[in-house]
């Protein structure tokens, strides 16, 4: 902890203890963490102090601490008070990747947790397999999708992992256009996206018939989709059915979906589609109802997130993990990908077989 931050934290701890004492709900701040966007203080309440009492004092605590908002939660550290970092920091993907000693195969770097720990998602794990990203405009979902794609490209060889990138906006994956990992050039057209997904389903069927397993000369295929809701509305029921089959049977064949949407409504995504995404990454959404649909559970308060890369990771039934998305500057990412492309020429004929091929 820097010498500049410590006095600020000590001041805030004193304010917390003073407010609690004034309301006859004593407690002591025992520590905390400083994240890129959020500060957390760990509070040890006196035996007679009720959690509900502390929660009711959230507005009084925020006023005394002169912070715009404060949340009160429970975790293994006891009571946790969270409030915005007055000096938020940008999380840069490349230095963060350098901090990780070893990134396992088919593992994406998402960002930095509030505790200052890099957060990774291993797509080959049964409790990850497929990822649904949700967030409104400005939440940082496209930045997160690009961080996932970039970390997979930089940490895996094209022979072990291939990407199929569907981007109706034509912007999210542009810095990766030259990556030798692409099974096809970047897809921006909905008709081409539908054909590519059908071809990938054919690839899955061939792998099943031949008993091919990922890691045995068969590369994993990661399908990255920006604006999933737009694709579903353009393609209708056939696309939804294809994506559902890929999600249900893909993991064993080494095919994984990572899809982002700013409209996580039940009407658009459907129950079957949502049920097949074990890992949810949720940024700021429009309403509490959207937060529940996107996360698959209630009371996440995702509609209260700060935006600009402030996200929750919800892995199955485990407790949510709050993190700041890793950002990659387009110029730097293009340069890194250009270096890879110079070393390894693209081999795009390996995957996405035409439907007519037997």
The answer to whether residues 262 and 228 touch, using CB atoms and an 8 Å cutoff, is no
CATH for the stretch 102-350: 3.40.50.300
- pLDDT for residue 354: 34
Name 316's bridge partners. none
- Could you identify the residue written with the tokens 């905390």? 32
- pLDDT for residue 297: 81
Are 5-84 and 102-350 equal in CATH topology?
no
pLDDT-based confidence at residue 2 (cuts at 50, 70, 90): low
238-263 confidence digits (pLDDT tens) = 888 999 999 999 999 999 999 999 87
Give yes or no for residue 177 having a pLDDT over 90.
yes
Share of the chain above pLDDT 90, in %: 63
pLDDT-based confidence at residue 347 (cuts at 50, 70, 90): low
pTM listed for this prediction: 0.86
Query: Which of 154, 139, 180, 181 lies closest to 282, judged by CA?
Result: 139
Once rounded to an integer, what is the mean pLDDT over residues 43-66? 96
- pLDDT for residue 326: 96
179-220 confidence digits (pLDDT tens) = 999 999 999 998 999 999 999 999 999 999 999 888 878 999
- Could you identify the residue written with the tokens 């061939």? 206
The answer to whether residues 42 and 29 touch, using CB atoms and an 8 Å cutoff, is yes
- pLDDT for residue 296: 81
214-237 confidence digits (pLDDT tens) = 887 899 999 999 989 888 888 888
User: Comparing 358 with 308, which gets the higher pLDDT?
Assistant: 308
Question: In 3-state terms, what secondary structure has residue 110?
Answer: strand
**Within 13 Å of residue 77, how many CA atoms lie on the same side as its CB?**
17
Our CA angle for 306, 310, 314, nearest 5°, is 120
Cα separations (Å) of 243 from 39, 176, 196, 262?
39, 23, 11, 18
Q: What is the CATH class of 5-84?
A: alpha beta
Query: Which of 340, 321, 292 lies closest to 115, judged by CA?
Result: 321
105-160 confidence digits (pLDDT tens) = 999 999 999 878 999 999 999 889 999 999 999 999 999 999 999 999 999 999 99
Tokens of 350: 């390996």
Give yes or no for residue 292 having a pLDDT over 90.
no
- pLDDT for residue 224: 98
- pLDDT for residue 350: 42
Domain ranges of the chain: 5-84, 102-350
């Amino acid at each position: 902890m820097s010498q500049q931050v410590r006095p600020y934290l000590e001041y805030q701890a004193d304010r917390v203890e003073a407010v609690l004492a004034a309301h006859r709900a004593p407690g002591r701040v025992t520590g905390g963490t400083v994240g890129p966007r959020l500060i957390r203080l760990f509070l040890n309440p006196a035996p007679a102090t009720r959690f509900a009492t502390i929660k009711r004092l959230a507005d009084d605590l925020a006023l005394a601490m002169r912070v715009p908002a404060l949340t009160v939660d429970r975790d293994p550290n006891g009571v946790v008070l969270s409030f915005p970092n007055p000096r938020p920091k940008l999380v840069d993907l490349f230095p963060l990747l350098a901090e990780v000693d070893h990134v396992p195969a088919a593992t994406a770097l998402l960002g930095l947790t509030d505790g200052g720990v890099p957060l990774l998602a291993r797509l080959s794990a049964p409790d990850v397999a497929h990822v649904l990203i949700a967030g409104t405009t400005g939440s940082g979902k496209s930045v997160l999708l690009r961080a996932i794609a970039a970390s997979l490209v930089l940490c895996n060889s094209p022979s072990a992992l291939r990407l199929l990138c569907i981007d109706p906006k034509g912007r999210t994956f542009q810095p990766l256009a030259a990556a030798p990992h692409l099974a096809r050039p970047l897809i921006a057209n909905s008709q081409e996206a539908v054909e590519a997904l059908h071809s990938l389903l054919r690839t899955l069927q061939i792998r099943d018939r031949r008993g091919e397993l990922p890691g045995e000369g068969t590369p994993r295929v990661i399908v990255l989709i920006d604006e999933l809701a737009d694709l579903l509305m353009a393609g209708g029921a056939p696309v939804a059915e294809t994506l559902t089959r890929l999600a249900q049977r893909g993991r064993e064949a080494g095919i994984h979906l990572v899809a982002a949407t700013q409209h996580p409504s039940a009407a658009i995504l459907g129950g079957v589609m949502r049920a097949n995404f074990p890992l949810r990454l949720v940024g700021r959404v429009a309403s509490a109802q959207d937060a529940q649909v996107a996360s698959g559970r209630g009371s996440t308060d995702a509609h209260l997130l700060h935006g600009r890369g402030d996200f929750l990771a919800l892995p199955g039934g485990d407790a949510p993990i709050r993190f700041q998305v890793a950002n990659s500057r387009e110029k730097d990412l293009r340069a890194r990908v250009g270096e890879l492309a110079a070393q390894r020429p693209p081999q795009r004929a390996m995957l996405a077989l035409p439907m007519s091929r037997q």
